[in-house]
Chains A and B, each alone.
Chain A
Amino acid sequence: MSFRNRAPYVLWSVAVLGTVGLLAFGEIAGRTSRNKTFSGTATVGDGESRFSISIEPVSFGVNSVANKYKLLEISIENGSTTPLTLSSDQDRFEALVNGQAIPALLSLQRADSTLWNSFSTAARKDLAYPLRVGPATAGRSTVPEYLSIFVFLPADRMSEMPTEFRYTIASLRTTVTLRKPPATRA
């Protein structure tokens, strides 16, 4: 069989494989490249704690809690053998939008009790601002303690994606700035 005779089969095969390949890459590309990660560190006792926020811009823009708040999850990794004490009364969390610092609510129980009371017991348990992040386990290698906390940003003031976050932890007497990592060339 000459190349001319084989050509339609080859073209069909390339077309089918190419479509499948593009669809597959499209699926992967659509889910991985959009998340924006902000991170920062603070010294706690003898070690370091890492704070990070990962935001998917589309869902951040669209989703809200009762059309009032944007829910933000902060991941904390305490690498210190000292527990990290938190306080919804004294800690502060701010998002920087268009150069303006917008404070988040840490305790919806006090700030918006009607909405807070409408959540189920299990949801309140998950969303409540914790009292502490446990210490890392010391051993041959230190195993950090992980915890996720949630804060509520006013939805009507989130016209754009925040560019930076500032987290003030009263027990540490410090403010952690969570930024996007600097752009790198491939």
Chain B
Amino acid sequence: MLSKALELFIGWLKSQRYWATIEPFFIIALAWVGAQLLSFEWIGTRTAFKPSFRLFLDSYLSHWITIGALGLAALILLFRSRPGIPARESASHLRMFWSANRRLILYRTGGTLLILAVVALGFRRYAPSQVSHITVRFMDLDSDITPEGLAYLIYEINRLQRNWYFEIDFAPFNPEEFSSDQATRCQDDSRPKLCQAEILAEGRPFIGITAQSLGGAYFAEHRGAVSVITTAEQSVYAPLTSYEYLAYCLILQAMSIHLDADGSLPQDAFDSARLTHGGFFQFVPYKQAVKSSILAARLTPEEEMLLLNRFGRDYVATCADLLTMNWLYSDRVKGNFEHVFKTKLER
């Protein structure tokens, strides 16, 4: 039905006087629609990330297609226009052709370069950023978690990644290794664990895991490229295991570090909110709600949009997959935890 209507519409257009003028632009418009539809289909294949079409139209991919189509249309206009420059057909040799049409050639070459530069700038403007690897260090662990069990959890997260991963530093943390200035600074800091993590990070993206309470947060603290996660509130997230809780926190903190490094972490991320809908960057002062957040972890359309446009399709697709926690509750991973690390994941 739709194809018939389109056929009729094209037939009608072809009968119009101006068809020859608009034909290439009409083809570009059709190609634009086709490319948008194909990209929309591709973006949701083989992942848990299924954006709405409205969200897709605001994405870097859609912008790239539009910029490409506009650039092509501009080139057609350029090669059709000849502002006051007459074309001379008589020239047979290259030198004679150049001397006869020099102005036109220069005009079109200049115009082409300008269009290509604008298109390149447009592509660059909307291009997703590269994300960095993140070092994880076990600063001190609770008795219900073993370094090897946690390393296994992190390696399973890494298995789902393609563009970045967590690197584990197994060296046991010892505050004695700090210089006296560093030790004093962290003693006086209102967030001592975050301060220690910042020193250990040595300027690189870093997540520290500790069993001790944090200065001013229940579960995690974040500043710049560094985060620290605590398992001190174990009774709050029970009956979930520390592994489930840490899987959730690691994914959340990794996204925060990447967004912060890119300068695009929302201003109100983790601000205390009385009303909540379970968004990833929402913080609820009622700390027992962390269980609900873990069990129903999801990205809101706004968060999907943010991650898609900042880091690309693979990144947001991986985050969406990780957040479902299906990988953690697969028979293989659950079995490994139960038989090798003696921890039962109940869900």
Residues of A within 8 A of B183 (CB): 109
A129 within 8 A of B: yes
A107 touches B176 (CB 8 A): yes
B176 touches A109 (CB 8 A): yes
- The stretch of A41-49, A74-82, A110-118 in contact with B is A110-118
List which A85-129 residues lie within 8 A (CB) of chain B: 88, 107, 109-110, 113, 116-117, 121, 124-125, 128-129
B180 within 8 A of A: yes
Chain B interface size range = 10 to 19
Cβ contact of B180, chosen from A113, A125, A129, A130, cutoff 8 A: A113
Complex CA distance for A113 and B176, rounded to whole angstroms = 11
A88 touches B181 (CB 8 A): no
B181 touches A117 (CB 8 A): yes
A186 within 8 A of B: no
A131 within 8 A of B: yes
Residues of A within 8 A of B177 (CB): 121, 124-125, 128
Of B176, B179, B183, the most chain A CB neighbours within 10 A belong to B176
Within the complex, what minimum Cβ distance (angstroms) separates B318 from chain A? 33
Residues of B within 8 A of A109 (CB): 176, 178-180, 183
Nearest chain-B residue to A125 (Cβ)? Answer: B177
B172 within 8 A of A: yes
Nearest chain-A residue to B140 (Cβ)? Answer: A131
Complex CA distance for A116 and B172, rounded to whole angstroms = 20
Residues of A within 8 A of B202 (CB): 121
B15 within 8 A of A: no
Complex CA distance for A103 and B180, rounded to whole angstroms = 21
B176 touches A88 (CB 8 A): yes
Within the complex, what minimum Cβ distance (angstroms) separates A161 from chain B? 28
Residues of A within 8 A of B275 (CB): none
Complex CA distance for A155 and B300, rounded to whole angstroms = 65
Residues of B within 8 A of A117 (CB): 179-181
Nearest chain-A residue to B177 (Cβ)? Answer: A128
Within the complex, what minimum Cβ distance (angstroms) separates B197 from chain A? 15
Residues of B within 8 A of A121 (CB): 177, 202
Nearest chain-A residue to B184 (Cβ)? Answer: A113
B174 within 8 A of A: yes
Cβ contact of B174, chosen from A110, A113, A128, cutoff 8 A: A128
B38 within 8 A of A: no
Complex CA distance for A128 and B176, rounded to whole angstroms = 5
A116 touches B174 (CB 8 A): no
Nearest chain-A residue to B181 (Cβ)? Answer: A117
Residues of A within 8 A of B172 (CB): 130-132
Nearest chain-A residue to B171 (Cβ)? Answer: A125
Complex CA distance for A110 and B174, rounded to whole angstroms = 14
Within the complex, what minimum Cβ distance (angstroms) separates A73 from chain B? 16
Within the complex, what minimum Cβ distance (angstroms) separates A132 from chain B? 8
Nearest chain-B residue to A132 (Cβ)? Answer: B172
List which A114-164 residues lie within 8 A (CB) of chain B: 116-117, 121, 124-125, 128-132
Within the complex, what minimum Cβ distance (angstroms) separates A78 from chain B? 14
Complex CA distance for A131 and B172, rounded to whole angstroms = 9
Residues of B within 8 A of A88 (CB): 176
Complex CA distance for A16 and B145, rounded to whole angstroms = 65
Complex CA distance for A107 and B181, rounded to whole angstroms = 14
Complex CA distance for A121 and B199, rounded to whole angstroms = 11
Complex CA distance for A132 and B177, rounded to whole angstroms = 14
Within the complex, what minimum Cβ distance (angstroms) separates A98 from chain B? 31
Within the complex, what minimum Cβ distance (angstroms) separates B107 from chain A? 61
Complex CA distance for A130 and B179, rounded to whole angstroms = 15
Q: A116-B179, A121-B202, A132-B172 are in contact. List 20 more A-B contacts (CB 8 A).
A: A88-B176, A107-B176, A109-B178, A109-B180, A109-B183, A113-B179, A116-B180, A117-B179, A117-B181, A121-B177, A124-B177, A124-B178, A124-B179, A125-B177, A128-B176, A128-B177, A129-B176, A130-B172, A130-B174, A131-B172
B interface residues (Cβ-Cβ under 8 A, vs A) = 171-172, 174, 176-181, 183, 202
Name 8 interchain pairs, CB-CB below 8 A, sorted by A: A88-B176, A113-B180, A116-B179, A117-B180, A117-B181, A121-B177, A131-B174, A131-B176
User: Which 5 pairs between the two chains have the least Cβ-Cβ distance?
Assistant: A113-B180, A128-B176, A128-B177, A117-B179, A125-B177
